[in-house]
Amino acid sequence: MIITITMNPSMDFAYSIDHFQLGKMNRFVDPTQSVGGKGINAGRTAALSGSKVLLTGYLAGEFGKMVKNYLVREDLCSLDMLETNGKTRKAITIMHDNNTHTEIVESGPEISDVQTKELLNRISRKCKEDSVDLICISGSINSCNEHVYLDMLTYIRENISKTIPVFMDVSQQQLISLLKSKTYKPTFIKPNTHELGEILNKDISSKEEALKELEHPLFDGIEYIMISCGEEGALCKVGADYYDITIPTIPIINTTGSGDASVGGFAHAVVNDFSVEDTLKYSMACGMSNAQHGEVGKIDPNKVQEFCSQIQVKKLVTRYTQNAY
C-alpha cells in the first residue's frame, strides 16, 4: 500500500477564457471543480494505475467537508483525513491566452507541530496494522516551522522504518531544509528547473544547466531526483546514473496536477518493481495523460500506455560532461 500525506488539500476551480483582461470584467462558463493537493493528486494517479492507496492529511470547515465528500464519491482510495480548525483552501486556475495559466491559491489552515505529530502517530499505527510499501509527502503546509517536513522524515525514519521509500514533492524552504539535513534525506524529490534554480540561487533555463547542477553535494544521498523541464521532458538521477527523458508533443487541456500525476506514477512503478527505464516512462506518461483532463490528478490508463511507447529515455553514459548533449 502507498500512503500519501497532504497537509494542505484544496478545492480546485479551473476556469477557461480566450483572453483574460486584467482590471476588467471577465465572464466565464462554469468552472471544472475537483479536489486538489499534491498528495491527493499523486494518490489518485497511483490508485488509477492499480495501487492500493491511503490518503491522509488535514481537512477543515465546509470546503473540507466538500473535499471529503468528493473523495468518498470517487471511491479510488481509502481515507484517513483528520479535522482541524479554519477552512480548507480554495485554488483557482485561469487558463487563458494561448495556454497561459494564472493561479490564485489561499494559504489554508495553519497546522501545528502537535497536529503533525498526531498525524504521524496515526500513520505509525497504520504501518503496524497493514503492509505499507511507500510513503509520499507532497505539497505545501501552512506552518511556522520551516523544517516541519524534515521533522516528519526524521519521525518516519526513527519510529516507522529506516528503509521504506519516502517520496517528498515539496518546495522552497521546506525542501532546502531537507537538502541541508546531515541525518536523513528523502528517497525522491521532483523540483522543476525554476525550483532547482531557487535552491541553488542561480538561473537555470535548460536541461544542460540542470544536468550540471545535479552534481551538487546538496543532492547526495537521494536515490531518485527528477527535474521537470516542461515541454523538454525531464532529467532524472537514479543513484549514480543520469537519464534524459524526451516526451512527444500532445494536445493539452490543463497541466495543473501533471507533476503530481508524475509522482504518483513514479510511486506506483517503484512499488511494483518496474525497471528504471519503464519507471521513468510511466511517470512521465501519467503527467501527460493528466494534462489532457480538466480535472487534476486524473489519468487514462490506456493513454498512459500509449504515451509510454512514445517517450524516449536516454541513459547518459557518464556523469556530467560538457559533451553530454
Q: Which residue type sits at 62? A: E
Domains, the chain: 2-18+28-316 (3.40.1190.20)
List, in sequence order, the alpha helices (H) in the chain: 38-49, 61-74, 113-129, 148-155, 172-179, 193-200, 207-213, 258-271, 276-290, 301-308
Question: Exposure pattern of 175-195 as b/e (b: 16+ CB <10 Å)?
Answer: bbbbbebeebbbbbbbbbbeb
* Among the ranges given (55-64, 104-113, 249-258), the one the predictor scored with the smallest mean pLDDT: 249-258
- 206 vs 85, higher pLDDT: 85
Residue 296 has a pLDDT of: 81
Residue 259 has a pLDDT of: 93
Residue 321 has a pLDDT of: 46
Give the SS3 label for residue 137: strand
> What string of DSSP letters covers 253-273?
S--TTHHHHHHHHHHHHHHTT
CA angle 149, 238, 205 (to 5 degrees): 75
Q: With 0.85 as the threshold, say if the pTM is over it.
A: yes
Chain Cα centroid distance, residue 17: 27
Please check the confidence at residue 311 and state whether its pLDDT lies above 80: yes
Residue 59 has a pLDDT of: 98
**pLDDT tens-digit series, residues 138-168:** 999 999 999 999 999 999 999 999 999 999 9
**pLDDT tens-digit series, residues 250-283:** 998 888 889 999 999 999 999 999 999 999 999 9
**pLDDT tens-digit series, residues 1-56:** 999 999 999 998 989 999 999 999 999 999 988 899 999 999 999 999 999 999 99
Residue 322 has a pLDDT of: 46
Please check the confidence at residue 320 and state whether its pLDDT lies above 70: no
**pLDDT tens-digit series, residues 191-250:** 999 899 999 999 998 898 899 899 899 999 999 999 999 888 999 999 999 999 999 999
